[in-house]
Structure 1
Amino acid sequence: MTTPFPQRQWGSPESPPARLANRFAGTRIGSKVIRALTPLDRRVLERTDARYTVLGPIGAPVILLTTTGRRSGQQRTQPLLCVHDGATLYVIGSNFGGAHHPAWTANLLADPNAIVSIAGKRIPVTAARVEGAAAESIFERFVEITGAYAAYRQRTDRELRIFALTRV
């Protein structure tokens, strides 16, 4: 049996700040604000071993995903929301509904080995692309976390890449 990933969810997704943040995140202005906060959020998550986020106690499961740059070979770290499913974490390349896939998704396609930081632990993982009906089912779980994902999907013509992360 594969060991489940630790769970870390700061705050409640039902709190008034979380509901407000979720509505705001789905707007174009909200997406720009969150994108601008991403470098600061990455530093906070790195310093707290992925226990706390700049977004505050909004009840969203946040991880740090470290991939290897497909061109540079350098380690690249990105804070992401995830769907936690015991021994599997799912991540989605929404890029806030932008026209292009986020670089980390191309990095995983080139080299599926990565590291997840979650709840104070650094865990080596392997990524596998999720497609078809399975991807649609996982996408709906992301929408349950925040409706912003539905807005992101509507903003772009590209398919939002979803990856399953499992322990090595």
Structure 2
Amino acid sequence: MRNPLPVLARALGRRPWLMKLASAIVWADHRLYQVSRGRVSLVGIAGLPSLRLTTLGRRSGLPRDTNLLYFPRGSDYVVTGSNWGRERDPAWTFNLRAHPEATVLVRGREVAVKARELKGPERDAMWRALLAFWPGYEMERAEAGRELPIFVLSPGDPPTGEQP
């Protein structure tokens, strides 16, 4: 029998009231990730792929973590800066633009990645694929009133620890 939770999660993900619970969901997800050392997340429990993205703060240079739903694309991880339908792009998008080298923690395994923001026709094609994967992105885009940034995180060499 297939796991019914992804279907339920996708249905709930299209409900505007869910965005009002964003702070509580993010807090609980962060705690679950900490306690399980990256092996369990709310998104994961729902049967969807999740990762913990660690970027360098664009101003501080300090590590910044955030848990995200991702779209698996071969060996790449595709993430979307929906920010739960808020008007502004999430902080991690600004960090990746300033410092594209990052790490992701997926199912307890850390992977060094390099980010690339999609633009133009490539972004448009990925947007269609993302909507098929997570239809709630359209509701979040409409609520935010902005184009949601899309990044491809590709595995690469481990970070050296040096800051550019």
TM-score (norm 1): 0.83
Matches within 5 A, 1:73-84: 73-84=61-72
- The aligned counterpart of 1:137 is 125
Matched letter for residue 156 of structure 1: A
- 5+ residue gaps, structure 1: 1-10
Identity over aligned pairs, percent = 32
Residue 106 (str. 1) matches residue 102 (str. 2): no
Residue 118 (str. 1) matches residue 106 (str. 2): yes
Displacement of 1:122 after TM fit? 0.5
Displacement of 1:56 after TM fit? 5.6
Residue 67 (str. 1) matches residue 82 (str. 2): no
Structure 1 CA distance for aligned equivalents of residues 40 and 130 of structure 2: 20
Displacement of 1:60 after TM fit? 1.0
Matches within 5 A, 1:13-162: 15=4, 17-55=5-43, 57-162=45-150
Displacement of 1:27 after TM fit? 2.5
Q: Secondary structure in 2 aligned to 1:30?
A: helix
RMSD: 1.8
Deviates more, 1:54-63 or 1:107-116: 54-63
- The aligned counterpart of 2:160 is none
CA distance 1:74–1:22, shift in 2 (3 Å): same
TM-score (norm 2): 0.85
Displacement of 1:55 after TM fit? 4.3
Structure 1 CA distance for aligned equivalents of residues 61 and 104 of structure 2: 18
Alignment coverage as a number of residue pairs: 155
Structure 2 CA distance for aligned equivalents of residues 37 and 101 of structure 1: 18
Deviations 1:2-22 (A, max 9, x none): xxxxxxxxx84xx1x433332
Contact 1:25-1:34 within 8 A present in 2 as well: no
Q: Secondary structure in 2 aligned to 1:100?
A: coil
